Amino acid sequence: MKIRGKAPRKPRNPLVVLVKQRKAGSHAPTAKVQRLREKHKLRKSLKQEQ
């Protein structure tokens, strides 16, 4: 007597597997964005002093 396990079901949409495996990226701003923000703050503060 052979023991048979259940075969894995195929998803209806083949892209579902890819979407579930995708890892979300960081939501923190990158170093480039932070440098640009600091640059804008500096320009704004210098402009206000004049």
E strand or H helix that includes residue 18? helix 15-21
The amino acid at residue 1 is: M
- Which two three-digit tokens encode residue 43? 């320009």
Question: What are the pLDDT digits (tens) for 1-48?
Answer: 666 767 677 667 888 878 888 777 788 889 999 999 999 999 999 999
pLDDT of res. 35? 97
